[in-house]
């Protein structure tokens, strides 16, 4: 069993190291200040956000029309009804007094586009830092696994458009994403993910 587990891990690492020299981690961002004028956002105003738990704002306008198409072998699954949210990532360090953990806001902006209901979620996160970005696919649940997962997301192709280059807390983001990804962890077969659509969100303070 231990030998098989090791083989699986090595196969995942080999799969992604084959393209290590390619520019598949970070890509340049396209800036279009007029993207917020796209008719898609007016159409999003005509419908309410998907409410996965009662803590969500009932009157909120839809934040995204993005959906996923996930292919595993010959089986295709479509994931829709996704919401967008954003904040700056925090960095953590030990303070000098009593060695208490301190937090500091980083320069990395993260946009989550998922179907979180407070217990589980599936989606992607876009990590924006200066002129570059990264995309990660993720699945979470309230089930605690005995070991930390080894997981990798490879960007085969992608395009990200934002309405401006720099953002601050409480700013609104308008954007467009188109991506072709390959995701795998030690428990799954390779998943080929296609995603496309528009999103908007207001950057909130990260209190975690």
Q: Of the ranges 50-64, 102-116, 164-178, which is most confident?
A: 164-178
Quote the mean pLDDT of the chain. Answer: 80
Query: Tell me: the pLDDT tens digits for 76-89?
Result: 999 888 999 999 98
What pLDDT score was predicted for residue 20? 44
Other beta carbons within 10 angstroms of residue 47's beta carbon come to 10
Instruction: Tell me what the mean pLDDT of segment 166-177 comes to.
Output: 95
Name the β-bridge partners of 126.
Answer: 111, 135
* Confidence (pTM): 0.79
Cα dist. 4→11, 72, 90, 148 in Å?
A: 11, 21, 37, 18
Among all chains, which residue has been given the structure tokens 């699954």?
77
pLDDT for position 101? 60
At 150, the pLDDT band (50, 70, 90 cuts) reads confident
* pLDDT-above-70 percentage for the chain: 70
Distances (CA, A) of 184 to 14, 72, 105, 141, 177: 12, 10, 30, 17, 21
**pLDDT at residue 205, as a whole number:** 86
Can you tell me the distance from the alpha carbon of 77 to that of 67, in angstroms, rounded to the nearest whole number?
A: 11
pLDDT score for 21: 42
Report residue 3: phi and psi, to 5°. Answer: -65, -40
């Amino acid at each position: 069993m231990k030998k098989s587990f090791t083989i699986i891990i090595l196969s995942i690492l080999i799969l992604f190291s084959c393209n290590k020299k390619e520019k598949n981690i970070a890509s340049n961002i396209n800036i279009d200040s007029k993207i917020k004028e796209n008719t898609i956002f007016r159409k999003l105003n005509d419908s309410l956000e998907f409410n996965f738990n009662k803590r969500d704002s009932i009157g909120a306008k839809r934040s995204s029309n993005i959906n996923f198409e996930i292919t595993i072998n010959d089986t295709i699954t479509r994931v829709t009804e996704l919401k967008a949210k954003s904040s700056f990532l925090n960095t953590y360090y030990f303070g000098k007094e009593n060695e208490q953990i301190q937090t500091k806001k980083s320069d990395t902006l993260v946009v989550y586009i998922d179907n979180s209901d407070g217990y589980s979620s599936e989606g992607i996160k876009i990590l924006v830092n200066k002129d570059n970005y990264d995309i990660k696919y993720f699945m979470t649940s309230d089930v605690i696994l005995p070991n930390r997962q080894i997981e990798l997301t490879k960007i085969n192709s992608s395009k990200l458009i934002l309405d401006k280059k720099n953002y601050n807390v409480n700013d609104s983001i308008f954007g467009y994403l188109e991506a072709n990804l390959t995701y795998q962890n030690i428990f799954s077969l390779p998943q080929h993910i296609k995603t496309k659509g528009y999103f908007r969100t207001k950057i909130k303070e990260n209190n975690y």
